[in-house]
Amino acid sequence: MSEEPLIRIRNLHATAGGVEILKGIDLEIRVGEIHAIMGPNGSGKSTLSNVLVGKPGYEVTKGEIYFRGKNLAEMDPEIRAREGIFLAFQYPVEIPGVANNYFLRTAVNAIRAHRGEEELDAMDFLSILREKMKLVEMPEDMMSRGVNEGFSGGEKKRSEILQMLLLEPAFCILDETDSGLDIDAMRTVANGINQMRSPDRAMLIITHYQRLLDYVVPDYVHVLSGGRIIRSGDKELSLELEAKGYGWLEDGEGTPA
């Protein structure tokens, strides 16, 4: 464990719309690891994911984030994506008029170009796309529709996982990907996520509930509250939270794990 972590977050303070939400986060994630972040509403979980991908409106006021030894503060969102950071959005946006397959190929080729790989033509891309679509059980006709246009909640989440499978990021952040999914969709999405598990890759799963973690078992679990990580542990911690809720931890905020 002496190697440089894939991502290293030190004393991170950040504001969203001018309000301080994150108040000193320290977190290191190495390749091959899966971390889960749990916590009540308003604890800063989504702010953390938005800060990691550089969403406008979120500002780092103190501390730093290093990804593969590079300072993220200097990277535009598209550069972070090309470097291998991926966020599966909690609320994926609909973009009518931009066809899914065209969007996906543009994204894949932007990332391939960044890695010095040859761009894929429409035919080559299509065969890769078909293979990945099977993994998330997406029907082919969804590809000629606009990005997320008219998709159900579950279809949007599967679409996010499809994007992750195609872009093959080194660091996957899943922001409440399990919310609003029925049990079948949950299993499909979990399958997709497990496809991405690899010794070369790390994941950060943000969730309210234990249930996704039944399918995608984390190595570490952190509890975020009031903009800080108040407790860290292994997968047992998530089971404990499921049983007891967050109250018992928040009462004794700052108790070492």
Contact positions toward other proteins, by CB under 8 A?
Answer: 53, 55-56, 76-78, 80-82, 86-87, 89, 92-93, 95-98, 102-103, 105-107, 109-111, 113-114, 122, 146-147, 163, 167
Q: Residue 202 CB, nearest distance to other proteins (Å)? A: 18
Dihedral angle of Cα 235, 201, 29, 45, to the nearest 10 degrees? -70
The answer to whether 35 touches 29, Cβ cutoff 8 Å, is yes
The answer to whether 49 touches 2, Cβ cutoff 8 Å, is no
Q: Residue 84 CB, nearest distance to other proteins (Å)? A: 10
Q: Pick the closer one to other proteins by CB: 80 or 132.
A: 80
Q: How far apart are CA 254 and CA 232, in angstroms?
A: 11
Q: Pick the closer one to other proteins by CB: 105 or 228.
A: 105
Phi, psi of 253 (to 5 degrees): -50, 135
The answer to whether 22 touches 14, Cβ cutoff 8 Å, is yes
The answer to whether 158 touches 128, Cβ cutoff 8 Å, is no
Q: Where does the chain have alpha helices with state H?
A: 45-53, 77-83, 100-114, 122-135, 153-167, 183-195, 211-215, 235-244, 247-251
Q: Pick the closer one to other proteins by CB: 31 or 120.
A: 120
Q: Residue 118 CB, nearest distance to other proteins (Å)? A: 12
Q: Residue 135 CB, nearest distance to other proteins (Å)? A: 18
Q: Pick the closer one to other proteins by CB: 30 or 114.
A: 114
Q: Residue 195 CB, nearest distance to other proteins (Å)? A: 18
Phi, psi of 49 (to 5 degrees): -70, -40
Q: Could you tell me which of 171, 177, 172 has the C-alpha nearest to residue 159?
A: 177
Decide: helix, strand or coil at residue 101: helix
Q: Residue 75 CB, nearest distance to other proteins (Å)? A: 11
For residue 141, what are the contacts with CB-CB under 8 A and spacing of at least 6?
Answer: none
Q: Pick the closer one to other proteins by CB: 101 or 232.
A: 101
Q: Pick the closer one to other proteins by CB: 107 or 239.
A: 107
Q: Pick the closer one to other proteins by CB: 67 or 89.
A: 89
Q: Residue 85 CB, nearest distance to other proteins (Å)? A: 9
